[in-house]
């Protein structure tokens, strides 16, 4: 089974446990209560255990359901944290930026602008190479070359 399907099913199970009903969880996921029930049944079959005790008036977690709930919450929190960490990198550029430029351009234009740039992008480590010699951009791993 696809791991993204399993994490979706875990999220539904967690919501059922939190909300105490199939109908409430179904509403949160814009599914029918019968679809949510089928998902739980499929999960229970896959695991070979009952996760919930169902009566006409109440749902309760089995011992295995308690264990699964705890682990599912940990896993879903880890997924959320991983996605936040990765997407945060897109919000704030970071890393090393290697720039090579000639002496006149570097001293008159780049060096004065560097302070503002680093204030705006504090996670970028700028490595500035000011030289009038010919530079091999590939060999020296230069990101930006201005001549």
pLDDT tens-place string over residues 51-96: 999 888 889 999 999 999 999 999 999 998 888 877 765 667 888 9
More confident of the two residues 135 and 65: 65
Phi, psi of 129 (to 5 degrees): -115, 105
Looking at residue 89, its pLDDT comes to: 59
CA 8 to chain centre: 15
Indicate the length of the chain as a whole number. Answer: 147
């Amino acid at each position: 089974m696809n791991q993204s399907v399993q994490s979706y099913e875990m999220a539904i199970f967690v919501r059922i446990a939190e909300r105490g009903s199939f109908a409430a969880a179904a509403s949160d996921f814009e599914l029918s209560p019968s679809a949510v029930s089928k998902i739980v049944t499929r999960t229970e079959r896959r695991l070979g255990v009952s996760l919930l005790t169902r009566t006409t008036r109440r749902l309760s977690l089995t011992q295995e359901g308690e264990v699964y709930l705890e682990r599912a919450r940990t896993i879903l929190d880890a997924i959320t944290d991983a996605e936040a960490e990765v997407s945060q990198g897109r919000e704030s550029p970071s890393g090393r930026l290697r720039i090579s430029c000639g002496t006149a351009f570097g001293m008159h234009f780049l060096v004065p602008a560097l302070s503002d740039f680093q204030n705006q992008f504090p996670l970028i480590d700028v490595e500035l190479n000011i030289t009038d010699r010919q530079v091999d951009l590939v060999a020296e791993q230069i990101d930006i070359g201005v001549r």
